[in-house]
Amino acid sequence: MTGIDAPPHVFDTAIATEYVGTHHLAGHTCPDYANMVGPFGGVTAAALLRAIEQHPERLGDPLSLTVNFAGPIADGPFEILARPVRTNRTNQHWQLELTQDGAVATTATAVFGLRRDTWSDLELIMPSVPGPDRAVPQEFPEFIAWGRNYDLRFVTGAVPDVAPADDRPGHPDSVSTLWLRDRPARPLDFASLTAMSDAFYPRIFLRRGQYVPAGTISLTIYYHATAGELAAQGSEYLLGTARANRFGHGHFDQNAHLWGHDGTLLATSHQLVYYKG
């Protein structure tokens, strides 16, 4: 099979949408990226980002994306409204809604823009850890379908056992450090970086030492990388780190960093997560 007639990567199939009007797109959920309830939030965020990337009025590349998961997304078709609300000389602001049967399931805002050569510096340094060839691959449980589409190699903070155990000790902190990439491997772009920014399981699982009901309410991603810096990563592993800051009253926040194999800080993400127990 040649590259010309090779089937699309499953990720590209999962985020595919088609414009059916000036600002309206039609899409469909993909069972390969199913989560415990509805689709994997990262693939929904990536579909929203790709909707903007396809728009003829789009200016530049993504700078930030905030996705608010207002309600469950059912398996099946959905619609996206992607509308630029203001375009300035170097940045552009977007509003998006994902609906099913007329009901809003997800809202989002995004900022795209043109990057300029300016003074720059990096205060946060990539953690020094063993390479992916020295980290043990780990699988999510079978009922988390989207996990099968990632090669995850944890250095610290691996996924806890799915079996409930009230006497199982929790972990003293919520930090996970891991290498990750698409499976099968796929060249990195802004859409796949978006999905990977949500590939960190809820930090409450690690602290409690077991799975508890939890789900992301709001996810914000800041894109630090240029298109050229993403292209330079190819299909190599990225290094990710994630931790929470405070748990309480049924919610916690968690933040994450994604580094390229060459030490480039590509993206940071922050999310608010609901939990029970």
**DSSP H stretches of helix in 18-79:** 41-53
Provide the pLDDT for residue 239.
98
- Count the Cβ atoms, other than its own, within 10 Å of residue 93: 17
Which domains can be identified in the chain, with CATH numbers? 10-114+131-275 (2.40.160.210)
Mean pLDDT per 10-residue section of the chain, whose length is 277 residues: 72 98 97 94 98 97 98 97 98 98 98 96 96 92 94 95 70 96 98 98 95 96 97 98 98 98 97 94
Single-letter amino acid code for the residue at 2: T
The DSSP bridge partners found for residue 92 are: 87, 112
Provide the pLDDT for residue 1.
46
Residue 193: name the closest of 153, 240, 148, 132 by CA: 240
Rounded to 10 degrees, the C-alpha dihedral 150/19/65/100 comes to: -80
| Helical (H) or strand (E) element with 195 | helix 190-196
Provide the pLDDT for residue 163.
67
Token pair, residue 162, equals 């799915």
The whole-angstrom separation of Cα 43 and Cα 164 is 28
Single-letter amino acid code for the residue at 263: G
Residue 200: name the closest of 41, 30, 39 by CA: 41
Check if the beta carbon of residue 207 is closer than 8 Å to that of residue 158.
no
pTM of the model: 0.95
Provide the pLDDT for residue 137.
93
